[in-house]
Structure 1
Amino acid sequence: MRWMGLGLLGLAAAVQAAPDQRIALTIDDLPWQRLDERDDPELAQRHAQLLAALKTAQVPVVGFVNEIKLERDGQVQPARVQMLRDWRDAGFELGNHTRGHVDLHAIGLDAYEQDILRGEQTLRPLLAERGQTPRWFRHPYLRAGETPQQRAALAAFLDQHGYRIAPVTVDNSEWIWAFAYDHVRDTEADPVVREARLRQLRRGYVPYMLNKLDYYEDQSRQLLGRLPAQVWLMHANALNAASIDELIAATRRRGYTFITLEQALQDPAYAHADGYNGAGGISWIHRWAMAEGKPRSFYAGEPKVPRWVLELAGIADE
Structure 2
Amino acid sequence: MRLLFSCLLWLGSALPAVALSPVEPDRRIAITIDDLPWASLGDHQPHAPPAAMLEHHAQLLRGLREAGAPVVGFVNEAKLEVDGRLAPERLQMLRDWLQTGAELGNHTFGHTDLHAAGLAAYQADILKGERRLRPLLAESGAKPEWFRHPYLRAGRSPGDKAALAGFLAAHGYRIAPVTVDNSDWIWARAYRNVLDRGGDEQVLKRLRAEYVPYMLDKVDYYERFSIALLGYALPQTWLMHANEINAATYPALVAGVRARGYRTVSLAEAMRDPAYARDDAYTGAWGPSWLHRWAIGENRPREFFAGEPATPPWVLDLAGVEGE
TM-score norm. by structure 1 comes to 0.93
Identity of aligned residues (%): 58
5 Å matches for 1:274-313?
Answer: 274-313=280-319
8 Å Cα contact 2:34/2:239 also seen in 1: yes
Post-superposition offset of 1:8: 8.4
The answer for the alignment partner of 1:137 in structure 2 is 147
Post-superposition offset of 1:14: 5.8
Partner of residue 223 from structure 1, selected from 226, 229, 238: 229
**What letter corresponds to residue 33 of structure 1 in structure 2?**
A
The answer for the alignment partner of 2:257 in structure 1 is 251
Post-superposition offset of 1:218: 1.1
Count of residue pairs the alignment pairs up = 306
**What letter corresponds to residue 52 of structure 1 in structure 2?**
R
User: Are 2:303 and 1:315 aligned?
Assistant: no
Distance 1:316 1:9, change over 3 A: same
Give 1 or 2 for the bigger CA radius of gyration.
2
1:42 aligns to what SS in structure 2? helix
**What letter corresponds to residue 215 of structure 1 in structure 2?**
Y
5 Å matches for 1:197-276?
Answer: 197-276=203-282
Post-superposition offset of 1:73: 2.1
Structure-1 separation of matches of 2:179 and 2:134: 27
Instruction: List structure 1 runs of 4+ shifted beyond 3 angstroms.
Output: 7-11, 37-41
Structure-1 separation of matches of 2:140 and 2:51: 31
- What value does the CA root-mean-square deviation take over the aligned residues? 1.6
Structure-2 separation of matches of 1:9 and 1:281: 50
1:246 aligns to what SS in structure 2? helix
5 Å matches for 1:98-177?
Answer: 98-177=108-187
Post-superposition offset of 1:41: 3.4
Structure-2 separation of matches of 1:70 and 1:10: 60
TM-score norm. by structure 2 comes to 0.91
Structure-1 separation of matches of 2:169 and 2:75: 18
Partner of residue 178 from structure 1, selected from 185, 188, 203: 188
8 Å Cα contact 2:187/2:207 also seen in 1: yes
8 Å Cα contact 1:138/1:166 also seen in 2: yes
Post-superposition offset of 1:176: 0.3
The answer for the alignment partner of 1:19 in structure 2 is 25
Q: Deviations over 1:183-202 (max 9, x none)?
A: 11012x3x5xx111111100
Q: Deviations over 1:100-133 (max 9, x none)?
A: 0010000000000000000000000000000000
**What letter corresponds to residue 147 of structure 2 in structure 1?**
F
8 Å Cα contact 2:64/2:100 also seen in 1: no
Q: Deviations over 1:276-302 (max 9, x none)?
A: 110100000011111111111111221
Structure-1 separation of matches of 2:67 and 2:97: 15
Structure-1 separation of matches of 2:51 and 2:321: 24
Partner of residue 41 from structure 2, selected from 35, 52, 70: 35
Post-superposition offset of 1:174: 0.6
1:23 aligns to what SS in structure 2? strand
1:27 aligns to what SS in structure 2? strand
Structure-1 separation of matches of 2:30 and 2:203: 30
Post-superposition offset of 1:275: 2.2
2:74 aligns to what SS in structure 1? strand
2:51 aligns to what SS in structure 1? coil
Post-superposition offset of 1:40: 4.3
1:55 aligns to what SS in structure 2? helix
User: Are 2:89 and 1:79 aligned?
Assistant: yes
8 Å Cα contact 1:275/1:289 also seen in 2: no
8 Å Cα contact 2:156/2:284 also seen in 1: yes
Structure-2 separation of matches of 1:257 and 1:173: 23
